[in-house]
Structure 1
Amino acid sequence: MDKIKEAADLILKSKKVFALTGAGISTDSGIPDFRSSTGYYSKMDPALALSKDRLLNHPEIFYKEGYKILEDLNDQEPNGGHKALAKLEKLGYLSGIITQNIDNLHAKAGSKNIYEVHGETRGTHCMKCGKEYPFAVMREKVEKGEIPPKCDECGGTIRPNVVMFGDMMPDDFERGARELDNTDTLIVVGSSLTVSPVNFLPNYVDHLIIINNDPTPMDRQADVVIHENSTIVLQEILKEIESRK
């Protein structure tokens, strides 16, 4: 496919390449994306289900709805797309990943330099004393009916390390944005590029590769646009790059 070769050409001639990933890269891992007709939010309002207000003021509802999404994400495994990006980083062609995803799959696939701009579901922390716990501890407490789950040290409320609606963006967002200041090419994978402030990040770079099933608002500005399955496309790009070594 010519577009695969074009993408590989651009990656190989760039001094610094980063990836920006959204929910679409994880659908082949069995995770429905967040905004399609079959996605997580087709049955609930995300601004409520995963909101800071509901977490703090209506925990009994949060742990029936929003928490179930986080629990599901915590149990999935990376697919060939995640692994292809990890291999590109290992080979020195990719400097890192900025991800909107909270599913931990880039880390599980072996990627090292990851900026999780919406948080992650590996851990939790006490909102009072800051003590950190693995997600499994929260799960155990919730299964025992401890809602909201409490800190063993100070009795404060334990919450997931996920950016809820109403939360401030984490340091990873600013750090990731700074990485793009001297990045030549950004590979956007599986993102609709409709969620702020992440959708502004492609404006930081000179060259764009967009891999997404559906059109995005940035398609016109991209050097290469591929509207196909991201797992297959990333594996093909990796294969093309490896064939030129």
Structure 2
Amino acid sequence: MKVNTLAEWIQQSQNVVFFGGAGTSTESGIPDFRSAAGLYQSEEKLPYSPEVMLSRSFFVKHPEVFYDFYRSKMLHPDAEPNGCHHFLASLEKQGRLKAVVTQNIDGLHQAAGSVNVLELHGSVHRNHCMECGRFYSLDEVMNSSEVVPKCPIDGGIIKPDVVLYEEELNQDTIIQSVQAISQADLLLIGGTSLTVHPAAGLITYFRGKHTVLLNTDPTSYDHKADLLITDPIGKVMEKLAHQLGL
């Protein structure tokens, strides 16, 4: 069985790194972007495409429309970590998992107990005034009485620390991610279409022993993986946790 093979490889590894995307959180009730049931495939009539509304220029020009879409589609405050998040947190506590490199912005890895989480696309849990830089929590953004939350000190617009289209990824996060992936002896890739760059390109820095791809849909990287598992990632990780006693 493939899960048995993966369990053996994990037991043989001392430096595991997980690289994940939106599919990691679908079992927590958060829709992904590009699958058949994803956000970008929605039949709901929108004033603009999601890609346009999630761009920097659109945020600057139309903050009201941005926030309406952002609050209704991008924020899931009641979502709970699933088997994938819990397994990775347990593997980190055991000392085998050295880093989680994620494209997700939901904070579920941290909610499950993971500490070394490298968030390539930022987080909905961090928000700052564009004028003074003051920090605001997700609760403050969600519960603001204004459509566009403003800083009470200087009236500046509060922007989520989420990497929008047209914005660059944080260079420190990229450097740390490259370092973690290049030093790993086992790379687990899960819940990602591997089509979003530059994030997806980071896996090319892996020089270790085995690459495992856990994804329900095919990717362009399937033929390069040493092990391919297409079952839901949360269920797979629950089985792994049971086998490894985590």
Q: Structure 2-normalised TM-score?
A: 0.91
Write the mapping of 1:146-161 to structure 2, written as runs, cut at 5 A: 146-161=146-161
User: Within 2, Cα distance between the matches of 1:15 and 1:181?
Assistant: 14
Gaps of 5+ in 2: none
User: Within 1, Cα distance between the matches of 2:175 and 2:163?
Assistant: 14
1:177 and 2:178 matched: yes
Gaps of 5+ in 1: none
- Contact 2:71–2:142, Cα closer than 8 Å, also in 1: no
Q: 2:163 corresponds to which letter in structure 1?
A: V
1:191 and 2:195 matched: no
What is the Cα deviation at residue 96 of structure 1?
Answer: 1.7
- Contact 1:29–1:79, Cα closer than 8 Å, also in 2: yes
Q: Which runs of 4+ in 1 moved over 4 A?
A: none
2:106 to 103, 106, 109: 103
Q: Give the fraction of aligned pairs with identical amino acids, expressed as a percent.
A: 39
Residue 154 of structure 1 aligns to a residue whose secondary structure is: coil
Over residues 121-159 of structure 1, what are the superposed CA-to-partner deviations in whole Å (9 max), with x where a residue is unaligned? 112101111110111112222xx2x24322122221111
What is the Cα deviation at residue 15 of structure 1?
Answer: 2.8
**Over aligned residues, Cα RMSD in angstroms?**
1.6
- Contact 2:151–2:157, Cα closer than 8 Å, also in 1: yes
- Contact 2:186–2:211, Cα closer than 8 Å, also in 1: yes
Residue in 2 that maps onto 1:60 = 64
User: Within 1, Cα distance between the matches of 2:73 and 2:242?
Assistant: 34
Residue in 2 that maps onto 1:13 = 12
What is the Cα deviation at residue 66 of structure 1?
Answer: 3.0
What is the Cα deviation at residue 70 of structure 1?
Answer: 2.7
User: Within 2, Cα distance between the matches of 1:129 and 1:147?
Assistant: 20
Residue 11 of structure 1 aligns to a residue whose secondary structure is: helix
- Contact 1:116–1:173, Cα closer than 8 Å, also in 2: no
Q: 1:64 corresponds to which letter in structure 2?
A: D
1:91 and 2:94 matched: yes
Over residues 90-140 of structure 1, what are the superposed CA-to-partner deviations in whole Å (9 max), with x where a residue is unaligned? 112211201111111111111111001111111210111111011111222
Residue in 1 that maps onto 2:53 = 49
Residue in 2 that maps onto 1:27 = 26
Number of aligned positions between the proteins = 238
User: Within 2, Cα distance between the matches of 1:173 and 1:93?
Assistant: 22
Residue 67 of structure 1 aligns to a residue whose secondary structure is: helix
